[in-house]
Structure 1
């Protein structure tokens, strides 16, 4: 029999009891790792729940989490305060109120070590050693996800994959089988097309699932799904640390001050690069940042931050960059929308550019995003490269200058239309968009070609310029775009 106090006596774990000294004789059945804010569906009596407190964001968050543990009858809560600067008082008070022993895990101790030692202690309490497969799987708990998945597949004796709700294959031990198809991940394990789908836990808005070939993978597959969740959480911690190092770069890009190139080099960037902006209006949960991290995979280590109200990532323009970025990104956002739902999502792309062109790429991505937002679609993705150059040039001009140019170049024409009830401005626009062809413009306006020629002549008189001259045509067309 393994009790809570047994775990406190394991010297290499250096566990410290924070509250619940009178409750240490509770029997422990297993250890379960979770970062879900509401773990009620997954915890059961006798478990020691291990968490990195990634679900905790402020006072009040502990009550629903701890009360769920109490209702389930868990033996204890083991928590690491590495990301919260120690165990929050909110968590401590809730555990005391609900009579849950709270054990503090040292910030420098890997959860893989904790899990392995607790499993060994449980096995010893039952008078047997854990199977070799489980021990080998636990020994790979701290490995990168592809290595962990390979070890899991070897122990399970079957192929397995980790899939994201974006439709992305995160990792796999074999080519993704076409017969598996796509699926909507649930909160419980499910069987689909000859595969078992196990949800990967963690405090993430975008779900992952572990897919295992076969319909009866057993407890070892559940252990693997839990370890995949830990690997994802660790990768998230590394990404957040890298992003803190890149904060000077994003500050320089947002303010337009500072040495952008030096900040980019310090953030580990190598040219050429692209800039991706993502906006999810009305969302205050940080969904845009998590979505962006999923969209720019496999370049997971790219600097990410915020520029204004938008999530931003600076991505290497290398062999990983997809040819059909807009189509793939739109499909990925649609996939996630079908799983978790969100109000709106807009994305814009700028580049590729050298590091000294980053500021311009940000402006290009910003205009592309604004254009996506004006399309009237719930999900819209625009690349700057798909926008005509004259629109990008006009978009980068201050509003005051655009109004001044419009009034100076087009003022007489606008005034004449307003006074006479004519539409010479539209006539000139279509004439220029038809490559200055009177025949094509007349057909577009459904008028005789002589009528079109008369109108263009009248417009030239009002503007005091020759609309058959190429330079004049460029000036007038840019003024029309403004």
Structure 2
């Protein structure tokens, strides 16, 4: 709540106090009394903060020089006015006080003896209290109007519009945490996006965080200074509540679509049922879609409760295209005729705030339920390529099996190759490298010997040892395929896991 004041002119105009202005400063109409201080101290300045109506009877004897020094210092504070009570100590205000006040341009008021200082103090206190009450009542009306704006369907843009009308602080805007403009009012106003240097008086644009729980998700900023900071704070809280409400609506919708996609991937729905469920979410199964998969390393709560698509609440509670939450991944079904770059760039920018190393994979455009299934695996496979956006090459049948997160391929691969991994670890051997090279060279000895730079007998010994340790016959196609799958599967492990085990 802002500090309340009583104009000096209102005090002088109150007939019951019978006050007389002996000297009027140049700002009598705008000088404001913040409180009243009655003092007979030799030096009252340490107890004054400025803006007070200082009242004295002149009880303490002072020389002319002392009076002049005191009045000059009071004017520099500055106080609102000096009220001199007459009829008790001094029959009238001393001339030196009048002259010093005139020289210092300090408003000097005479109070008769039959008007106690307590009566003046009560009148000022009543006025300040009345103004406080009026301000509180007005703030409640304004806040009630802002709440009603949201409840009536005005949305967040309506809230911005109403806040702008109440503040007289120029454009009001909502920004992303990095300063990027999300929405502003008036919509046609110019917005530089930069608050600029702070004024010398310390007053400047108001900027407050918009919070969801303990997560700052946006900023509410005014173009110019305002004394209604409490109203801006209230609006920031309303924005946070509305963001949370809209996020809950979107999250529920995204999770329902996510369940449909997960069922499709796991083949837990028949194709007709899958088509009907997709249609309920605005997805036409016969249309071509790219499947965009983002896999941030964050908890479920952060994706579900914080608006990582902050611009959405200012347009609609629905996503502009189908968005799903599948486990801890964000999945976007992007129509095949749309350019994926703007979508993936925006998704990367927002999700990078919760995981700077987030990977995003983009599949080929395909139609049909089976196309979504393949596209999902392509997107997942590409997303694991590292930070940033990666476009997937079409998966081979082998790549599709290896990309299937439901299959414990890496664990199975390690189980098959464990004897070779253990032998290499214990003896500093190269059985894994030899097997990999031999299979990559189509099980031909000559190119394998050349690649490994080993003797023919050395290669023959290693291959015999591999067969003995694994129980596989490298002359059988089936055993070769199992060993090749096992090598490809352990490549799915993070490098530090694989290097630690080998």
TM-score after normalising by structure 1: 0.46
Q: Kindly name which structure, 1 or 2, has the bigger radius of gyration based on alpha carbons.
A: 2
